[in-house]
Amino acid sequence: MTHPIRIGMLSFAHLHADSYASCLQQIPDVVLVGIYDDDPARGQDRAARFGTDYFSDADALLNQGLDGVIVCAENARHRRLTEQAAGRVKAILCEKPIATTLADGQAMIRRCRETGTRLQIAFPVRFSPAIQELKQTLDAGTLGTIHSAKCTNHGSMPGGWFTDRELAGGGAVMDHTVHVIDLLRWFWGTEVVEVYAEVGQELLHPGLGIDDAGLLSFRLSNGVYGTLDTSWSRPPSYPTWGDVKIEVLGERGLVRVDAFSQHLQVSSDLTGKTSWVGWGSNIDLGLIRDFVAMIQEDRAPSITGEDGLKALEVALAAYESARRGEPVALPLED
């Protein structure tokens, strides 16, 4: 009989932490051992909600004989917690983006490699059935030579530390670029080699103090040309947080994919607005199951620290392009 997989949560600063904790409790033979958070009120609230223990000190939680941890701190604090956990757990799942600078991301990867700790980055959109079907179509060569990929990632403005440049590393472009770039790299095993970007600050949210919209144009090393419309354009009344859509044009046809189309539209006076009720797969649950399986099977992560670093690099290149007003070549210099 195998022993339960023991997981700890390091911070609930990120909005996805609640979902990840809920997913852990849906997987057999997994125990959520405890929660560390530098905000005692938030940490105690989540510990009560998920029926586990709150730790005011990360080391105290890491001393509980954990198999893995999930890091959901502010972006700029990923490095500190990852380095603190490396060598003390078998595996780390770190929320995206991996960090706010290439130097921090590289340090995290290096520390995990030196300590034999598996580092996985949280890109749950890979687990969308629609996205996986597109991946299979591309692998089969059904579309022939691929010419372009037109992408969107729109969402609601999350507020809080997401609008603090020091903690988040950027606004909507940082928040939403990495998801889509990870998918394109995964589809073709290719890298972005050039980026041109227009980045708008306070276009949608006056007084926000950070970018809330951006349009990226880029070239991949396999010759595919891509665009990404990324923004915090969805109002609070929108049925869900936003979208991830990809339109791939090939010599034999066009495929359009909506990663979050598995929902029913319900209009009810009880809720006061139209809402979308999901009926399909839970991509966060797919991510967490994959993380747990990595520990159980003692295998390499399916989404690596290097994947996270490459996606971050494109977001940073977009900001640099907007600052210069010209295309930026990748890889970036350290």
CA distance 24 to 253: 40
Residues 6+ apart with CB under 8 A from 239: 263, 265, 273, 274, 275, 276
Residue 13 domain-assigned (yes or no): yes
81 within domain boundaries = yes
Classify residue 295: in a domain, yes or no.
no
| Domain housing 203 | 126-280+312-329
- Indicate if 274 and 191 belong to the same structural domain: yes
Strands laid side by side in the 192-201 sheet: 253-258, 242-250, 146-156, 225-234, 211-220, 192-201, 328-329
Token digits of residue 242: 């936003």
Tell whether 51 is covered by a domain. Answer: yes
Number of domains in the chain: 2
Query: Is the domain of 12 the same as that of 80?
Result: yes
Residues 113 and 147 in one domain: no
Residue 68 belongs to a domain: yes
Shared-domain flag, residues 256 and 134: yes
Q: Report d(CA 76, CA 13) in Å as an integer.
A: 11
Cβ-proximal residues to 119 (8 Å cutoff; 6+ apart), any chain: 82, 86, 91, 92, 94, 108, 109, 112, 301, 304, 305
In this prediction the pTM is 0.95
Residue 225's CATH number: 3.30.360.10
Q: Identify the pLDDT of residue 1.
A: 46
CATH number for the domain that contains residue 82: 3.40.50.720
One pLDDT digit (tens) per residue for the chain, 334 residues: 468 999 999 999 999 999 999 999 999 999 999 999 999 999 999 999 999 999 999 999 999 999 999 999 999 999 999 999 999 999 999 999 999 999 999 999 999 999 999 999 999 999 999 999 999 999 999 999 999 999 999 999 999 999 999 999 999 999 999 999 999 999 999 999 999 999 999 999 999 999 999 999 999 999 999 999 999 999 887 777 778 999 999 999 999 999 987 767 777 777 776 776 766 789 999 999 999 999 999 999 999 999 999 999 999 999 999 999 999 999 997 6
* 156 lies in some domain: yes
